[in-house]
Amino acid sequence: MLPDLLIALTMLSNFSLVATSRVSKAIQFAVLQGVLLGLMPLAMGLGRHFHIVLLAVAAVTVKGWLIPFLFRRALKQVHIQREVDPYIGYTVSLMLCALGTGLSLLLAHNLPLKPGTEYVLMVPASLATLFTGFLLLVSRRKALTQVVGYLVLENGIYLFGLLLVEDMPALVEAGILLDLFVGIFVMGIVINHIRVAFDSTDTRHLAELKD
Amino acid sequence: MSLYLLALLAAAVSGVPGLFLRRRGGEVATGLLGLAALLGLTASFRVLAGGSGGTLALRTAALGAPGLLVFDPLAAFFAIPVLVLAFCGSLYGLGYWESRRGNTPALRLVFGWLTASLVMLVAASHALTFLLAWEGMAIAAFLLVMAEDREAETRRAGWIYLVATHTGTLILIAAFALLARTTGQYGFTALPAGLAASRGGTILFVLFLLGFGFKAGILPLHFWLPPAHAAAPSHVSALMSGVLLKMGILGIARLLSWVPDPPLWWGGTLVALGVLSGLLGVAFALGQHDLKRLLAYHSIENIGIILLGLGLGTLGKSQGNPVLQTLGYAGALLHVVNHSLFKGLLFLSAGSVLHATGTRDLERLGGLGQRMPWTAAAFLAGSWAICGLPPLNGFVSEWLIYVGAFRGLGLGRQAWPVVILLSLALIGALALACFAKAFGAVFLGLPRTEAGARAQEAPRVMLLPMGLLALACLAIGVAPLFLMPALGRVVDTLGPAGGSGLPSLPGLGAISGMALALGLLALLLWRWLRPGSREDGLPTWDCGYATPDARMQYTASSFADGLVRGLRWALWPVVHRPKVSGWFPRPARYEGHVPDPVLDRAAAPGLRFGVRGAALLRVAQGGALPVYLLYVLLTLLVLLVWMVA
């Protein structure tokens, strides 16, 4: 019951993510999503495994505290509040996101699951989150919003990984978190460097770097 | 086995101390390579004398087959030229390369790696170790070719080499995968009888021939070879030409050793490729102006001779004729060692010429014989051997193939013994013409440039390895009888044929006697004909002119012109010949060169076309990150839908 609620909230936060134009709102939604997913293993009743509890605590700490902290610092440095003039408008994004969610439900319907899995919503939700992350990456212009896109993408992968959390060694899970942390860290540096080099965080300028 | 492994280790780390030592790093590296040679040669001789070689195997069959390295007689035999040339090359490099500026420690390190890869490759008995060593060898050689990457020509040669070698490796990976599917394991084992004649056997043979052919420089696949050999430092060229190419031959030999019943056309193909490589290799060598390119084309020619021997042996094997099999394989394998000795010698002496004069252009060299007598003697010895003249070693191996082909004549109406005999004879004659040109243009006559006139003899550290190689050539040429028991054991690994019959071959003792007699005769002639005094001051080329100068002598091009023009139909020389007319013609310039048929006429234009086609794909490279991500998303979507649907 509780996991299904969390998954539903995750999918709802996907829609809010693509529909918002405020950068800080998008960050908040991404963080919320991360914390929700961080709590998922506990909600799934896996609290008896020590390493899974550890994993959940780590996920919540990184996604709920460290990443927002890094984002706030980056926001302070680059002074932007709104994603103006995205490649794909908000209404269209919302529709595409809905389309992606529908498609993932359809796809997940055909994907064979391990027999006896109770969380049938997990796969479509993870696919939908993946699509949302990609949509954000493709349609947004500011480097910061793109980082949010990466974050959502990682959330989708994490959700998919939860399906196997009992079988998968904790090492792999920790690897995902570390990956994420490094990604954010590097992007933070990159954003700063784009700003210094081009006096803006608009990723359009990166096109000048092609040979 | 432990000696062999120690040799491998010593070679691999030979360049490491040099990274930390401020000086004497080269001496340490050479010392370590010398140690490796000592250990490895001891192990080799022990195996060749009939001892057991040993195996390095895993405890479990984790990689599909337990055996990784097997030091059998074939491995021991191929290890000899590797170790000898690596040591000689390293010693030579002390004088040749250390005095130049540039990344000396790195060069030494990679030289050690190349040696170690080669040592590992000869004994590899598992597809994985084989390919690992093969790639290590290819990449180390690439780095060595690129040693002087300041020059555009070197960079071009390096990239061509890299593309060619990786194409070969890809084909080999496919071949080994196919082989493993047939035999059920990745270790090297004998193939079941009847497989070779089947369709799968045909595909295997063609794939292996292509993959190994790229490395060996068999004719249509040779195009990387001349530029790479010309661009590499000379001691590296010696190792590449002497040993690296032979690894392709090793591969073919290994393949032949697995097959109990090769079909007749396998041997025929090998003979045909041998004729092609041998004749065209020497013909293209005739048209070269660059000393090292000329030597590189001669490597192709000698690979052709080796293939003739292998083809002869394979024909004997498939016809169940042990005499032909033994003679062909023995000639081919002995020529492998012989070629690495005399080609190493030639490349090292060419390096001394380059070192002294700064040019490899035959038209700008000349008259070095008086200024560099030892180098001239070394080059002469190498030329003598490569032309297959007694009493040096080139004669012995070619003689074995000749004898085999003559025995083949008695087997009835077959064309191939005649083809082998005729092409061997033609190759020998053309090689003689080519080396008459090379030796004459470089060492005889008058110097054509200022640098040539000021040339000095190479330092002793460079002359020593040349002397060692020349002595080895002489020893094999004078006393071939002592080699035959060992060679018989090696030939036995290529199929049970009774290689032990080799020592009783008639005429081997006569070769020694004849060699000694010839040597004595040469010594006497030299004593008699030596000019009493050189004080008369007459130049070598006088031609009856009152004031002869260097421009009146034969150039390399003019010497070879008749033959090149006669072989016009095969070589397609490009000649710029202005018309000279009138009573007082203006100064004119004559120019001619022989472009490589595969590289310059097929591969390079084809590649340029491909690059132009690939430029169309640049539309997809918009530079915008979201667009790239869109590609990823679309791929993901398509894959998902494809998987589910």
Q: Cα–chain-centroid distance for residue B620?
A: 44
Contact residues on chain B for A107, CB-CB shorter than 8 A: 640-641, 644
- Judge whether residue B119 has pLDDT over 80: yes
**Predicted confidence band of residue B77 (pLDDT cuts 50, 70, 90):** very high
**Predicted confidence band of residue A176 (pLDDT cuts 50, 70, 90):** low
ipTM: 0.76
Which tokens in the block code for residue A108? 């997940």
Residue that has been written with the tokens 């009783």 in this structure = B504
- Mean pLDDT of the region B494-510: 72
Q: What is the pLDDT of residues B192-221, one digit of tens each?
A: 888 888 888 899 999 999 999 999 999 889
pLDDT for B59: 67
Residue that has been written with the tokens 């950068």 in this structure = A23
- Judge whether residue B90 has pLDDT over 80: yes
A176 touches chain B (CB under 8 A): no
Which tokens in the block code for residue B223? 């195009």
- Judge whether residue B148 has pLDDT over 60: yes
Q: How far is B159 from chain A (nearest CA, A)?
A: 21
Q: What percent of chain B has pLDDT over 70?
A: 94
How does the average pLDDT of chain A come out, rounded? 79
**Predicted confidence band of residue B332 (pLDDT cuts 50, 70, 90):** very high
pLDDT for B291: 92
**Predicted confidence band of residue B346 (pLDDT cuts 50, 70, 90):** very high
Q: What is the pLDDT of residues B395-437, one digit of tens each?
A: 999 999 999 898 888 877 788 889 999 999 999 999 999 999 9
pLDDT for A90: 87
Q: Are B577 and B267 in contact (CB under 8 A)?
A: no
- Chain A residue closest in CA terms to B643: A111
- Judge whether residue B273 has pLDDT over 90: yes
Contact residues on chain B for A127, CB-CB shorter than 8 A: 640
Q: How far is B274 from chain A (nearest CA, A)?
A: 46
Give the integer Cα–Cα distance in Å for B567 and B616: 42
- Chain A residue closest in CA terms to B640: A107
- Mean pLDDT of the region A60-74: 82
- Judge whether residue B102 has pLDDT over 70: no
pLDDT for B556: 84
pLDDT for A109: 79
pLDDT for B107: 87
Q: What is the pLDDT of residues B523-575, one digit of tens each?
A: 898 888 776 555 555 665 566 777 777 777 888 888 888 888 888 888 888 88
Contact A134 B622 (CB under 8 A): no
Give the integer Cα–Cα distance in Å for A120 and A138: 28
Q: Where are the alpha helices (DSSP H) in B58-103?
A: 73-96
Which tokens in the block code for residue A155? 């959330």
pLDDT for B143: 93
Q: Are B169 and B135 in contact (CB under 8 A)?
A: yes
Q: What is the pLDDT of residues A100-149, one digit of tens each?
A: 999 888 888 777 776 767 777 888 898 899 889 888 888 887 777 878 88
Contact residues on chain A for B639, CB-CB shorter than 8 A: none
pLDDT for B518: 85
Whose CA is closest to B168, among B204, B138, B202?
Answer: B138
Which of A99, A138, A152, A198 would you mutate first to test chain B, the one with the most B CBs within 10 A?
A: A138
B614 touches chain A (CB under 8 A): no
Q: Are strands B55-57 and B67-70 parallel, antiparallel or unpaired?
A: antiparallel
Note every long-range contact of B32-35, with CB atoms under 8 Å and residues 24 or more positions apart, other chains counting.
Answer: B32/B112, B33/B86, B33/B87, B33/B90, B33/B112, B33/B115, B34/B87, B34/B90, B34/B91, B35/B7, B35/B10
- Residue A161 exposure: Cα atoms within 13 Å on the Cβ side: 22
A107 touches chain B (CB under 8 A): yes
Q: How many CB atoms lie within 10 A of CB A4?
A: 15
Contact residues on chain A for B630, CB-CB shorter than 8 A: 138
Q: Which of A111, A134, A207 is facing B624, going by the closest CB pair?
A: A207
Q: What is the pLDDT of residues B430-473, one digit of tens each?
A: 999 999 999 999 998 888 888 888 888 888 889 999 999 999 99
- Mean pLDDT of the region A35-61: 81
Whose CA is closest to A142, among A206, A197, A62?
Answer: A206
A93 touches chain B (CB under 8 A): no
Between vectors from CA B288 to CA B238 and to CA B551, what angle results, nearest 5°?
115
A192: Cβ–Cβ under 8 A, 6 or more apart, which residues? A74, A77, A78
Q: How far is A17 from chain B (nearest CA, A)?
A: 17
A138 touches chain B (CB under 8 A): yes
* Choice among B63-72, B139-148, B193-202, B437-446 with the minimum mean pLDDT: B63-72
Q: What percent of chain B has pLDDT over 90?
A: 41
B236: phi then psi, degrees, rounded to nearest 5: -75, -40
pLDDT for B173: 94
Q: Which of B623, B626, B641 is facing A210, going by the closest CB pair?
A: B623
pLDDT for B319: 87
pTM of the model: 0.77
How does the average pLDDT of chain B come out, rounded? 87
